[in-house]
Amino acid sequence: MRWVSWVVGAVILVGLLVFILIKPFSALLPPELPYRGFVARCLYILILASILCLERVLRGPTGADRIVAIDIFGILIVGFCAVVSVATGRSWYMDIGIVWALQSFIGALALSKYLDGKAFDD
């Protein structure tokens, strides 16, 4: 019975990726942007991956799985900031991405030390 849920999940993911690659919805992006379709596809893929990471954070069987999912989510946020920075032409989104990456790294270290049972000054 477990393989049925795996197959259904795989079919849904493949269907979503095919839909994203074939017909992205880019009405929210500025019309003068010459690469609207590419930016829309990148944003949709990042949103889909973020939803999957949040699902792993909520349903992760162990604490280590949750920490890895939170770290991956931080990386996706940095990617989102990079795509938005390229799409809008504003560089301060990259500053937000850099700060988010540093904060995500420090948070992952703190959570791993906590789960290992060590103090923060060790």
Examine residue 122 and state whether it is found in any structural domain, yes or no: no
Using pLDDT thresholds of 50, 70 and 90, give the confidence band for residue 26.
low
Number of structural domains the chain divides into: 1
> For residues 87-112, b (16+ Cβ closer than 10 Å) or e, as one string?
beeeeebeeebeebeeebeeebeebe
Highest mean pLDDT out of 33-37, 67-71, 77-81, 117-121: 77-81
Examine residue 93 and state whether it is found in any structural domain, yes or no: yes
Mention every residue, 6+ apart, whose C-beta is less than 8 A from residue 87.
29, 33, 39
Using pLDDT thresholds of 50, 70 and 90, give the confidence band for residue 116.
confident
Examine residue 121 and state whether it is found in any structural domain, yes or no: no
Examine residue 89 and state whether it is found in any structural domain, yes or no: yes
Q: State how far the Cα of 11 lies from the Cα of 91, in Å rounded to an integer.
A: 38
State the pLDDT at residue 28. Answer: 65
Give me the domain span that covers residue 38: 2-116
Examine residue 83 and state whether it is found in any structural domain, yes or no: yes
- Which pTM does this prediction carry? 0.75
Q: What is the mean pLDDT of the chain?
A: 82
